[in-house]
Amino acid sequence: MSFFPSDYIGDEVADYFNEAAVHQIKCAWNANVVRAPTMPKEDKVGGWMTDKDRDYSRLKKVVDAAIKEGIYVIVDWHAFNDPHIDGAKDFFANISKTYGSFPNIIYEIWNEPDGENGTWPLVKEYAEEIIDTIRQNDPNNIIIVGTPNWSQRVDQAAQDPINLTNIAYTLHYYAASHGQPIRDIALSAINQGLPIFITEYGTVTYTGAGPMNESEANLCPMPIAVYKTLQLTNLVILHFGPHPGNWLIKNLGAPIKELTATIMVRIKSIF
């Protein structure tokens, strides 16, 4: 289950970064991992690099709650074209020093690389620096590395993977946008032995909007493909209901098929 970035739209989204929401996700929806995104910098409402104390307070509520509930939490540096490496080092040094001793923590170090900064050689170079920052405090927990073209080109990572342990690679898949070409890319990478972690999955377009593409969603063999590497355990729906931690099926209504999701995995089965 992925939360929406707390600083992407405004403070109303941050209302869901709380213990009650995490408890509901685990106990009512049977999720075993939550994803807590933090943006480096956002023009309208800030981010870690301009509002560090605010964003850390929000993130800490989710991380602490996940640890209390005994589930995994993906700490996501929700960057796009520019990874803001200095901010990323500060962010992951902070998180790994504070929480690195807890096996609940998973690090997602660059949400969606794209553009001129998002070629695999540059992503790999960035990743190795951030991995080194994390490993100074946390030698073991899983680190998920973004891939080029908005975390779609896992095949490029498969051709030149990072030669370190406990590393997985991000794939983002939206059925109404991507279809068979991305599924082929994923299968190619998996056949080369690359551990893939789908941190965003949707039945709609990559914007998170529009109607569900049911035919592509039904045809998608992604859960089967990912199972070969990660052992798929669950698929859940992302939804921000009207009351934090008090969501009912009736709150979802017709849009239920248009919401995004995160694929859950048994982390211990990766390596």
116 flagged as catalytic: no
Any domain includes 44: yes
Name residue, tokens 């902070």: 94
Per residue in 204-228, pLDDT tens? 766 766 777 777 776 654 443 343 3
Any domain includes 186: yes
Any domain includes 3: no
Any domain includes 52: yes
Per-residue pLDDT at 3: 66
Band (126; pLDDT cuts 50, 70, 90):
very high
Choose the catalytic residue: 42, 69, 108, 200.
200
Any domain includes 2: no
Residue 111 to residue 123: CA distance in whole angstroms: 11
Both tokens assigned to 212: 């569900």
* pLDDT, greater one: 26 or 94: 94
Going through the chain in order, the beta strands assigned E by DSSP cover 33-38, 72-77, 105-108, 143-145, 167-174, 196-202, 232-237, 260-265
The stretch 62-87 carries a mean pLDDT of: 93
19 flagged as catalytic: no
Does residue 22 sit in helix, strand or coil?
A: helix
CATH value at residue 115: 3.20.20.80
Any domain includes 1: no
Per residue in 234-247, pLDDT tens? 233 333 333 333 33
Any domain includes 256: yes
Any domain includes 93: yes
Does residue 94 sit in helix, strand or coil?
A: helix
Domains contained in the chain, number? 1
Residue 29 is part of which domain span? 11-269
The stretch 191-203 carries a mean pLDDT of: 84
Per-residue pLDDT at 69: 95
* pLDDT, greater one: 40 or 204: 40
Cα angle value 35/77/175 (rounded, 5°): 60
* pLDDT, greater one: 10 or 43: 43
DSSP assignment letter at 268 = G
Per-residue pLDDT at 263: 33
Choose the catalytic residue: 42, 69, 108, 112.
112
